[in-house]
């Protein structure tokens, strides 16, 4: 497998790609949240990612670990709601596993994503099928590991991860929500795509486009 | 009542930084009680704030999570019930106990007891508009209403044709009484709350209907509160909260209070 080198510039491109996607999909995300939540998901993640890009510009990090600590702390401080702690913890754990290095390779990137997913589970206590961001992230992390294990390069592996995230997102539509605000609706949550899974799929898709 | 409140973005939980700042500002040395409504985001952000407060300043923080909304089915596998109207009553009663100089553990136990002895149910005639979204959160035709709504514009559990005040009162009273027996207590506090766009005169109309239904069910109302105290912005509608009182809760409820919302005995 050709060694992919992901430095802070490349990883910033990933976050920028994600921020652009969230900005473009802001209304759609809020619309999905209106159906089963409280109509703020697009606005919140957009506000958080705008702050993240500003923070990275103001204090350009020299290591990957430092970078994602800043990203995570910014999201925790700016977003609120459930997305703030969940996305924030995701990036904080990602940064801890990535470590204080100028760049990371594909294997460390995959390990950092898995650690991030672990953070989401620790904070939100969601399991597969609860109709949450976990349902898009977990299949993506599995697909990335599988693809790297069979020798795919990072581009192909991230492509597989993005596909798995999108499938996972689509699969939330028929689910009965058991976590988050959508769970208050009971049966009425069925038939609506989960906004958190939707923004998480955008995150993985952005990685495939920026880092692949 | 409260020493501090943290306001987040509209309908969004505030962030840990705000909670930490508020916690530090009001800590008089005896520790701080966080009264948290049971929403995934609020619970997680307050957990993070409590961890930070304990790590940074050693402040003892105890959290009581309110979850009184009977519209939401409770289960070990879900986020559980929402915290709604009972939160106002917890704030008043726990606040009075803190004012009396009771310990953090005592005040937290009282707050917990109010939550356990209180139940709520809400309904809406209209949706509300989150300013950043700019359009109503859900579409509700003129001739329909939502039963079981939350305080953040969340849609309810079901939609039914618009009915008379008497029928609406029954839709609120029945699920509350089915969830907890209020006939055994020393009497109840009945709290009829406006969702933001319902005039006081209509809330009193609802109170009258609810009072009659409660009397028929053998529930004795000894205190009442009618007004818009915990709203969903510009939503038209109301909620009912019942709290089973005992002599201690009654005394703390009656204790003097002077806030923009509640004011008596001073």
**Which residue in the set B9, B137, B150 is minimally distant from A34, CB to CB?**
B137
Do A184 and B133 make contact, defined as CB atoms within 8 angstroms? no
pLDDT over 90 percentage in chain B: 82
Do B13 and A38 make contact, defined as CB atoms within 8 angstroms? no
Mean pLDDT of chain B: 94
CB A184 within 8 A of CB B72: yes
DSSP B191: E
Q: How does pLDDT run along chain A (212 residues), one tens digit per residue?
A: 446 799 999 999 999 999 999 999 999 999 999 999 888 899 999 999 999 999 999 999 999 999 999 999 999 999 999 999 999 999 999 999 999 999 999 999 999 999 999 999 999 999 999 999 999 999 999 999 999 999 999 999 999 999 999 999 999 999 999 988 888 888 889 999 999 999 999 999 999 999 98
* A to B CB pairs, distance under 8 Å: 114
List of chain A residues whose C-beta atoms are within 8 Å of the C-beta of residue B79:
178-181, 183-184
List of chain B residues whose C-beta atoms are within 8 Å of the C-beta of residue A179:
40, 78-79
DSSP A187: G
Closest Cα partner for A197 from A74, A87, A89, A69?
Answer: A87
Q: What Rg value do the Cα atoms of chain A yield, rounded?
A: 16
Interface with B, mutate which of A39, A75, A179 (most B CBs under 10 A):
A39
Q: Which residue has the tokens 């390069």?
A: A153
List of chain A residues whose C-beta atoms are within 8 Å of the C-beta of residue B155:
35-36, 185, 188
Residue pLDDT, tens place only, B54-98:
888 889 999 999 999 999 877 666 788 999 999 999 999 999 999
CB A127 within 8 A of CB A96: no
> How far does the CA of residue B140 sit from the closest CA of chain A (Å)?
12
> How far does the CA of residue A81 sit from the closest CA of chain B (Å)?
4
pLDDT confidence of residue B81: 93
The complex's ipTM works out to 0.77
pLDDT confidence of residue A142: 98
Interface with B, mutate which of A29, A78, A79, A85 (most B CBs under 10 A):
A85
> How far does the CA of residue A120 sit from the closest CA of chain B (Å)?
11
End-to-end CA, chain B: 14
Do A81 and B12 make contact, defined as CB atoms within 8 angstroms? yes
pLDDT confidence of residue B77: 67
pLDDT confidence of residue B251: 98
**Which residue in the set B12, B44, B77 is minimally distant from A44, CB to CB?**
B12
> How far does the CA of residue B129 sit from the closest CA of chain A (Å)?
9
Q: Please report which confidence band the pLDDT of residue B186 belongs to, taking 50, 70 and 90 as the band edges.
A: confident
B7: pLDDT strictly greater than 50? yes
Closest Cα partner for B36 from B25, B26, B50?
Answer: B50
- What are the catalytic residues of B? 152
Which residues of B have a CB under 8 Å from any CB of A?
8-17, 39-41, 44-45, 47-48, 69, 71-73, 75, 77-79, 82, 130, 132-133, 137-138, 150, 152-155, 157-158
- Report the chain A residue with the minimal C-alpha distance to residue B76: A178
Do A39 and B40 make contact, defined as CB atoms within 8 angstroms? no
pLDDT confidence of residue A1: 45
Residue pLDDT, tens place only, B11-21:
889 999 999 99
Do A180 and B133 make contact, defined as CB atoms within 8 angstroms? no
pLDDT confidence of residue B111: 98
pLDDT confidence of residue B101: 96
Closest Cα partner for A131 from A91, A88, A181, A89?
Answer: A181
Region B191-196 average pLDDT: 98
CB B57 within 8 A of CB B24: yes
Distance, CA of A201 to CA of A153 (rounded, Å): 20
Do B48 and A79 make contact, defined as CB atoms within 8 angstroms? no
- Report the chain A residue with the minimal C-alpha distance to residue B16: A77
Q: Which domains does chain B have, with CATH numbers?
A: 16-116 (3.40.50.10440), 118-264 (3.30.1180.20)
**Which residue in the set B44, B133, B154 is minimally distant from A184, CB to CB?**
B154
B109: pLDDT strictly greater than 70? yes
Do A79 and B130 make contact, defined as CB atoms within 8 angstroms? no
Closest Cα partner for B99 from B260, B251, B261?
Answer: B251
CATH of A6-211, one of 3.10.20.30, 1.25.40.340, 3.40.50.2300, 1.10.357.10: 1.25.40.340
> How far does the CA of residue A34 sit from the closest CA of chain B (Å)?
5
Distance, CA of A75 to CA of A61 (rounded, Å): 16
DSSP B3: S
B119: pLDDT strictly greater than 60? yes
Region B101-130 average pLDDT: 97
């Amino acid at each position: 497998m050709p060694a992919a080198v992901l430095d802070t510039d490349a990883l910033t491109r990933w976050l920028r790609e994600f921020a652009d996607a969230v900005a473009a999909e802001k209304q759609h995300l809020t619309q999905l949240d209106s159906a089963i939540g409280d109509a703020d998901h697009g606005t919140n993640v957009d506000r958080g990612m705008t702050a993240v890009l500003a923070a990275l510009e103001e204090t350009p990090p020299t290591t990957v670990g430092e970078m994602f600590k800043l990203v995570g702390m910014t999201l925790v401080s700016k977003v609120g709601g459930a997305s703030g702690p969940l996305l924030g913890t995701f990036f904080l754990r990602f940064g801890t596993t990535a470590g204080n290095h100028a760049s990371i390779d594909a294997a460390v990137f995959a390990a950092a994503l898995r650690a991030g997913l672990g953070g989401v589970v620790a904070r939100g206590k969601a399991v597969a099928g609860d109709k949450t961001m976990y349902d898009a992230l977990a299949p993506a992390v599995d697909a990335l590991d599988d693809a790297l294990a069979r020798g795919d390069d990072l581009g192909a592996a991230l492509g597989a991860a993005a596909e798995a995230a999108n499938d996972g997102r689509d699969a939330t539509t028929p689910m009965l929500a058991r976590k988050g605000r959508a769970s208050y609706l009971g049966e009425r949550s069925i038939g609506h795509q989960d906004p958190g899974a939707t923004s998480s799929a955008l995150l993985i898709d952005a990685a495939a486009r920026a880092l692949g | 009542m409260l020493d501090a409140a943290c306001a987040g973005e509209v309908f969004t939980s505030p962030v840990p930084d705000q909670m930490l700042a508020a916690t530090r500002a009001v800590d008089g040395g005896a520790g701080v009680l966080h009264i948290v409504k049971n929403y995934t985001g609020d619970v997680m952000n307050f957990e993070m704030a409590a961890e930070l407060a304990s790590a940074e300043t050693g402040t003892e923080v105890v959290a009581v999570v309110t979850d009184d909304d009977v519209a939401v089915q409770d289960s070990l596998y879900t986020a559980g019930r929402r915290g709604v109207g009972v939160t106002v009553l917890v704030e008043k009663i726990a606040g009075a106990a803190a004012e009396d100089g009771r310990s953090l553990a005592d005040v937290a136990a009282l707050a917990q007891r109010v939550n356990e002895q209180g139940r709520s149910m809400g309904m809406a005639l209209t949706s509300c508009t989150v300013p950043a979204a700019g359009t109503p959160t859900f579409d509700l035709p003129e001739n329909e209403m939502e039963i079981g709504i939350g305080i953040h514009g969340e849609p309810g559990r079901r939609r039914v044709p618009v009915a008379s005040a008497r029928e609406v009162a029954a839709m609120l009273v029945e699920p509350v009484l089915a969830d907890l027996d209020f006939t055994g207590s020393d009497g109840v506090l009945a709290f009829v709350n406006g969702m933001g766009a319902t005039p006081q005169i209509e809330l009193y109309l609802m109170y009258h209907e609810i009072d009659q239904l409660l009397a028929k069910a053998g529930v004795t109302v000894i205190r009442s509160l009618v007004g818009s105290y915990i709203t969903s912005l510009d939503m038209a509608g109301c909620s009912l909260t019942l709290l089973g009182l005992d002599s201690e809760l009654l005394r703390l409820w009656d204790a003097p209070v002077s806030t923009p919302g509640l004011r008596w005995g001073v």
